[in-house]
Amino acid sequence: MNPYYFDWAATSPMSERSIQAYTDTVRSYRGNPSALHKEGVEAAKFLAQERKKSASLLKVSSKQIVYTSGATESNSIVLQSLLWRRSPGRIIISAIEHDSILQYRRLLENKGFEVILLKAPKGYVDPEALAQVLDNKTQMVCIMQVNNVLGTVQDIPSIAKTIRAFEQTTGRSIHIHCDAVQAVGKIPFDLSSLDIDSASFSAHKFQGPKGTGILYLKSGNLEPLSRGGNQENGYRAGTENIGAIAAMNTALADSIAAIDTTYAHALTLRTHLESNLLKHGDRFSLLSPSTTCGLPFAPSILSVAVKGIPSEVFTRVMYDRGFCISSGSACSNNAPKKGEGILAGASITPEDAASAIRISFGPDTQITQIDELSATLVRQAALMGSLIRKR
Ligand code: PLP
């Protein structure tokens, strides 16, 4: 039996329309967009049309779209650019960022930057705490929109407002970077309202292909990560994957068009799952915000601690029973500290972090699957809890 898939925050299944767009494109265009012959010119024209499409979907200009291999690369282009600066300054990073950002801390510190890790209690950055660490040496602030483990949503427009007001007092500009990977297709998203300088996106999080993404770059002067070609305005050398770009745009258009339905569906599922688990509050504690707490959250992600049971063991047991769930962030499953880094950044206790599981779903998920999942979670938590207590 195919396991039920509850790991949409790690990656989502490609939609049929996105697969179709991929195959149609690679069948129709065989040229390299940089080639001078007709095949190349046609591929370049197609790429230009797709760039316009991405730009209009995100309500920005085509010049501001840089195609990349995904958010890891988009984040890297922005962060590694700092390493080229002549005079290091202060960089503020929220402590709940994805590892593709957090890993730059050590490199930046080695280059003489002062990196401030801004705690996000319960997964929320406090704009006042941010205001207190802004200084006239601050060069960049990195704050994600939707956290990939907790589903908490940051108020980016207010955060940007605080930063822009501070800029007025010093006359120096601060680059605001936002990892928006978990926002698109999960919550209503309006890039043009955020007042940021750059943002990262990955197609596979909204039912597009893996290994394709966008770096939105308002303007400015970043250093490329890959060199040896003039593609993507010089920001990203390498032959463009036009099939994957077309597939990404199809998935992007579909997920934007369906967002109200997707959001309402996820909220129904999330409310149901939360209430199923909270009936067993002795075994589970919510790490994500509750649906009733009044704070903004993405309903498609729910993290809970299964009290006293190590998350790796529990996720394996659940897989054996037919459910794909994740222990914290799948992206940091190879890292020594796993999702615990993000959870510690959200001031979650080490005990809860060690037993954290993440359940995430999408438009295809059915409420009956949620019931089966809840029943199995409850049964296995009880069984394993009694085994662990006996030891
Ligand atoms: N940022 C966030 C918030 C993520 O959740 C992920 C992947 O899980 C990434 C960045 C990296 O995306 P990719 O692996 O597609 O490069």
Average pLDDT over residues 82-92: 95
Whether 331 has a pLDDT exceeding 50, the answer reads no
Catalytic annotation on 293?
A: no
Phi, psi of 238 (to 5 degrees): 130, 145
> Longest C-alpha distance within the chain, in Å?
73
Cβ–ligand 1 distance for 327 under 6 Å, the answer no
Query: How far apart are alpha carbons 198 and 145 in whole angstroms?
Result: 12
Judge contact between 165 and 146, C-beta under 8 A. no
Tens of pLDDT, residue by residue over 311-327, are 999 999 999 999 999 99
Backbone angles phi, psi at 138, to 5 degrees: -70, 125
Distance CA 387, CA 381 (A): 10
Q: Is 81 in the pocket of ligand 1 (CB under 6 A)?
A: no
Cα(100)–Cα(110) distance, integer angstroms: 17
Q: Is 145 in the pocket of ligand 1 (CB under 6 A)?
A: no
Separation CA 115–CA 134 (nearest Å): 12
The number of CA neighbours under 13 Å toward the Cβ of 376 is 20
Q: Is the CB of 177 under 6 A from ligand 1?
A: no
| Statement: residue 340 has pLDDT above 60 | no
CA of 170 to the centre of ligand 1 (A): 34
Q: Whose CA is nearest to atom 12 of ligand 1?
A: 71
Q: What are phi and psi of 61, to 5 degrees?
A: -95, 155
**What is the pLDDT, as a whole number, of residue 21?**
98
* Distance from residue 205's CA to the centre of ligand 1 (Å): 8
Residue 33 clears pLDDT 70, i.e. is over it: yes
- Which one, of 181, 178, 153, 151, lies nearest residue 163 by Cα? 178
Q: What is the pLDDT of residue 391?
A: 65
Distance 208 CA to ligand 1 centre (A): 14
Mean pLDDT of 104-116: 97
pLDDT tens digit string along 196-206? Answer: 999 999 999 99
The encoded tokens of residue 123 equal 């997964």
C-alpha to C-alpha distance for 11 and 55, rounded to whole angstroms: 23
Tokens representing 45 are 């024209």
Strands 198-202 vs 213-217: parallel, antiparallel or unpaired: antiparallel
Share the mean pLDDT of the chain: 94
The best mutation among 144, 331, 334 to test binding of ligand 1, ranked by most ligand atoms within 8 Å of the C-beta, falls on 331
What is the band of 300 on the pLDDT scale with cuts at 50, 70, 90?
very high
pLDDT tens for each residue of 50-73: 999 999 999 999 999 999 999 999
In this prediction, residue 341 carries a pLDDT of 80
Please work out whether the CB of residue 71 comes within 6 Å of at least one atom of ligand 1.
Answer: yes
What residue ranges in the chain does DSSP mark as E strands?
A: 4-5, 65-68, 90-94, 114-118, 138-142, 175-179, 198-202, 213-217, 284-286, 301-306, 323-324, 356-360
User: From CA 169, how far away is CA 139, in angstroms rounded?
Assistant: 14
How far is it, in rounded angstroms, from Cα 248 to Cα 241? 11
pLDDT over 60 at 119, yes or no: yes
Q: Taking CA 277 as the corner, what is the angle to CA 353 and CA 282, rounded to the nearest 5 degrees? A: 70
CA distances from 64 to 32, 53, 184, 199 (A): 22, 12, 17, 10
